[in-house]
Structure 1
Amino acid sequence: MVKLLGQLRTLSPTRAIMGRLFLWFWATFIVTSLLAIWGSRLFFEDLQVVPIKPREIAAMTLVIDRMQFRRFNNMSLPNILARNSRGVRGRLVAVNLSDKRLISGGGPPLRDNDKEDLLRLVEQTSPIAVKRGAFKVLGPVFFERDNARYALFTVKLEMPEKQTPPIVLFLSIALITTTLLSWLFAKSLTNPILHIQGSAKRLASGDWQTRVGKAAKRLDELGHLARDFNKMAEQLESMWGSQKRLLADVSHELRSPLARLQMALGLAHQQNVDPETLARVEREADRMEALISQLLTLSRAEAGEATMQKHVLSRVLNDVFTDAAFEAANMNKQMSIEDIPQKTVVIDSMMFCRAVENVLRNAIRHSKLVTQVTFSEDAHHWYVHITDDGDGLSNEECERIFSPFYRATLARERESGGVGLGLSIAKAAVELHHGRINAEPAKHGGLRVTLSFPTSSLPKS
């Protein structure tokens, strides 16, 4: 039952701003139309004679008989009328025939039209029923009290039992018109919001050239929001470009002092300097060389520099998987590799292999025993799935591990010598092929990384 209620809540149109706007304006129009119809029937319809019901006359005669009871002798006429109004399901009004004074049994003041109708009806010798809008007047029934003669009437609010065809037609037209107008109005408000939302998602995924188009031309608050979003996107694109240029420039500039450092190390070895100190300096120099090499690779991938050629997928990946299996064996771990599809793809072989290799190395490093590689394909993409049986990551970490220099487990990365650039290079290399890479917790523990490439990377036959 709770699950069913939860599903019903997800289907509720009020969960979306367009649904709330549509229901609000639609309900406003419908209520306004109903009030207009009711008001026109209540206040602006002509006086008409309607059939009288025998039980209504019987109820008024019973009131006259009750007035003769002894307990009403010392009670004022307004109080008597108020006490007996429930029996007639309406409001009792008496008219003094001598001075035409109206005596009511409580309730709001009568309208001028109703007073005029009562005064005209006192001349009737037998009871009749008339109706003006929703107000129905029944009478007169004559009685005497305190040496004065009165005409008794019943005034009640009575809506028509059946709607006339024009009213039904009017309601149908109002329903269709208000529904259409409300939907169009709500859509005109929510469409630019949805465009801005889609642009924000693309910007968050790294598409720095994303801009809001039509919504930015509006002159209302949504137009201001769209233009502010475009300004923000321009600033982010500029900042990202500056960061990439800085990264590339620093990497290139570090190459020269690193080369001189390695030359100095060679001279130091020849001069028999302390071997332990030289070994430590040499390790740090090698580490800096690896870092600079990765930074340059990342800069090249993010700059979109690629040489696309036709390659047989099994030949491209064969060396990568052979090296990975050797590395896993040295760590007493295993590789489980599915048969590589025999297909020809259009790729930059070096960047493609770097992407697969970096993901594989990360999986082997963090697996407990087995790392699996599988392949799949659908109508629009072909996939490489790499799954390890390690401790895995949280959903939040799965979204952040492709950021440069991010390390989910800092101590473990230090032990392996990682600097947090391997998966960033893999992401840039995959996007260079117009693909996508994502990570998610595996079903039975560990991490599953999927590299997807569009089928457009396949050569046309």
Structure 2
Amino acid sequence: MSAIKKLLSSLNFGISAKLFLTFWFVVICSISISYVITLQLQHRPTQGVATPKQLHLLNQYATQQNKKIIKLANKEKKFNLKSLRNQFERKYQQHLLIKDLATNKVYLPRHRAWQGIEKYLSINSLPNPVTIDFAYTQVTGAKEITVNNKSYQLFVAGPIDRQQFHSIIEHLPLSVKMMISLIISAFLCWLLAKAFSKPLIAIQKASDNLSKGNLSTRLIGFDERSDEFGAVARSFNKMASQLEDNITAHQRLLGDVSHELRSPLARLQLAIGLVEQNIGNTEEQQRHLNRCENEVDRLDTMIGDVLTLSRLEHTNTTDHFEPIQLVNLTQQVVDDCQYIANTKNVIITLASDEKYSLNGDKKLLISAISNVLNNAVKYAPEHSTVSVELTLITEKICLTVTDQGTGVPDNMLSKLFTPFFRVADARDRNSGGTGLGLAIAQQAIKQHQGEIYAQNTQPCGLMVSIVLPLQN
């Protein structure tokens, strides 16, 4: 088998041809072994006690024919053996077989199925009455009779059972049997090779298309199969979809970053130009320099957020996980955010029945909760309340942050965690921020095998929920 593999690998065959030749070689070996075994186990004629009914019929017919033979002999006429057989077949719907005892020649119907019987009767001497079982018919004899001064034996045989396919195959020449086996095995192996090679070729072509940048390539149809090829196709489609989403997201992020950087850079260039125009005017110069400092800080914050988001998307921080009391950590974030909320007279409340523990990265969780909470405070109306609540839902911790702002259109809720996404009017660029806070929060929560989502509340406001697994 190894030699066959080396031979196939050395030849420049396609995968279909390789599979076909390999399978065909295996099947030919199997057929050959099966054929040898079949020869050993095939049905062989067996002799048994003569069937009384058939033996009686044979004796009766022989007696009748003896009388006719004597009459013809007296008239010096010869008796025709063929007419004897034909008369018997017409009268009893069975076959009369005649064996010449001098030459061992057997007279019987000319048909391939009778060859085995002819051979058996010619080489075997059957002086006593017997019934011979040939699987596809039974032969009963022998009754001796003298015709034209020659001794013969008569045998009666039932019709050939043509419903038995094996009897037809058994009487075919060996060369024909081998040819049929080769043709059938070749056809079946070719179908098997095509069944295996078709999905492999499709996967190969799809991989080539994907490597050329065609990210929309999918294995259509093959992913519906229930076998291993179907599993591979589904995995490939999932990989291609994820790859397309990632590259599209990175391209969109790059475009968004370029767009976001253009505005502060333009303002920075304008402020620098105004500084140069107002040299000597200390008050005006200082005002423009302060604007330059603000734009630089904004650029620094944006670049820092972009780097943080990129790091969270491409790294796994589970090595830094440690047991954390989420209530204490949330209380710390609430206290920090309350300082900013005081400028708007917004009160942040924290409600929790128990102290929930989980494994996590403290810095990431603080960043995620802080981004969500700062976002709620930013868009909460003055003299309102932002509610933070910790609850346990189906063995998971749910942290909700609810504000009393204007909320978000329902069709935009799923986009809130997209980098640089802002809702028009209430959440535009004039409100400050880089548009990356919720995207960073989402990536931080994903690092903890959790999820984050937003929904509007009645009569107004937005609630952001963070779901995290409990500590094992």
Same fold, TM exceeding 0.5? no
Provide TM-score, normalisation by structure 1: 0.44
Provide TM-score, normalisation by structure 2: 0.43
Larger radius of gyration: 2
